[in-house]
């Protein structure tokens, strides 16, 4: 994705890694005839038609407002024991890639996690002499209260317990967490947009500046085909029915509006707009 401007706000993409997904692994209702019929806008960024896979990206966004430098979602992280081999004890150059954007850990003012799944909180912390410490020592980390209350109650062995233990609780213990409701905002240009369902307290980050708007959608949508088929919930949604209702409303409300969508897992060009075509919608990438 090329850097994008939302009014006076600058948005850049910080990639951790990309992965080819078996479609049914991601979307249990997947129908290959639907992606075949929508090749005109899904290729080349979002579907590998030769391999029959969906393209997924694991990335953060850097949002520079002029007053704050904000990191949206923090991917998988390094040195972390995880059940998935592509996440387990990784050593990826995330901080080196951050430096290529002219930033170091001390330059981040806020970290905003759209939800508390392991691939959105991983770089919250880093391993230092056997301890998990905040990666961004001057940042305030914004967690939704509904998500924090849910995941903090997990017990050892339950799905998500490891990432809460090594990537969220150390932030709280360091006094850097802001555990907030949906009314949280940073001035007039950055606010939360409620989108529960994928997790209990999932939120989008709404940007507004100089009459322009952007929306960081987290895992409200995992793949652009869900713009066309919002009824397709992912295998990763805690409440698929609630997620489906939330996504349908979001797509309906944002179709044909001048709002740039920045999703957490859309690969390649990534940023785009929701455009209606008949009784369905498409995702069109921005130039």
pLDDT of 264 above 90: yes
CB 157 within 8 A of CB 165: no
Element (H, E) at 25: helix 23-26
pLDDT of 287 above 90: no
Q: What is the pLDDT of residue 30?
A: 97
Q: What is the pLDDT of residue 277?
A: 94
pLDDT of 262 above 90: yes
Q: What is the pLDDT of residue 14?
A: 98
What does the pLDDT look like over 113-140, one tens digit per residue? Answer: 999 999 999 999 999 999 999 999 999 9
Q: How many CB atoms lie within 10 A of CB 175?
A: 8
Angle in degrees, CA 29, 34, 38, rounded to 5: 140
Instruction: Name residues whose C-beta falls within 8 Å of residue 39's C-beta, 6 or more positions apart in sequence.
Output: 47, 49
Q: What is the pLDDT of residue 127?
A: 97
CA–CA dist 258, 275 (Å, integer): 10
Torsion of CA 94, 42, 239, 152, to 10 degrees: 10
Domains, the chain, with CATH or none: 4-285 (3.60.15.10)
Per-residue confidence band for 243, with pLDDT thresholds at 50, 70 and 90: very high
What does the pLDDT look like over 46-67, one tens digit per residue? Answer: 999 999 999 999 999 999 999 9
Element (H, E) at 37: helix 32-37
Tell me the percentage of the chain whose pLDDT exceeds 70: 100
CB 206 within 8 A of CB 190: yes
For residue 58, what are the β-bridge partners? 17
Q: What does pLDDT average to over the chain? A: 97
What does the pLDDT look like over 166-177, one tens digit per residue? Answer: 999 999 999 999
Report pTM.
Answer: 0.96
């Amino acid at each position: 994705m090329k850097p994008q401007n939302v009014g006076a706000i600058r948005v850049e993409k910080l990639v951790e890694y990309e992965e080819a997904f078996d479609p049914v692994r991601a979307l249990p209702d997947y129908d290959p005839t639907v992606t075949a019929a929508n090749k005109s806008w899904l290729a080349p960024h979002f579907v590998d038609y030769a391999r029959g896979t969906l393209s997924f990206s694991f990335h953060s966004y850097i949002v520079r407002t002029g007053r704050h430098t904000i990191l949206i979602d923090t991917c998988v992280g390094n040195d972390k024991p995880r059940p998935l081999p592509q996440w387990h004890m990784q050593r990826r150059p995330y901080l080196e890639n951050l430096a290529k954007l002219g930033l170091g850990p001390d330059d981040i003012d806020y970290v905003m996690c759209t939800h508390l799944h392991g691939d959105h909180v991983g770089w919250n912390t880093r391993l230092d002499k056997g301890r998990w410490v905040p990666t961004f020592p001057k940042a305030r980390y914004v967690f939704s209260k509904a998500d924090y209350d849910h995941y903090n109650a997990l017990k050892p062995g339950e799905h998500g317990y490891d990432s809460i233990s090594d990537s969220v609780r150390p932030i709280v213990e360091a006094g850097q967490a802001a555990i907030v409701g949906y009314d949280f905002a940073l001035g007039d240009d950055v606010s939360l947009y409620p989108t529960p369902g994928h997790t209990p307290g999932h939120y989008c980050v709404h940007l507004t500046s100089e009459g322009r708007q952007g929306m960081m959608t987290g895992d409200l949508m995992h793949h652009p085909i869900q713009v066309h088929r919002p009824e397709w919930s992912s295998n990763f949604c805690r409440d698929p029915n609630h997620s489906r209702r939330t996504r349908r409303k979001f797509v309906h409300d944002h179709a044909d509006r001048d709002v740039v969508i920045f999703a957490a897992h859309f690969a390649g060009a990534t940023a785009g707009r929701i455009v209606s075509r008949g009784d369905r919608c498409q995702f069109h990438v921005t130039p």
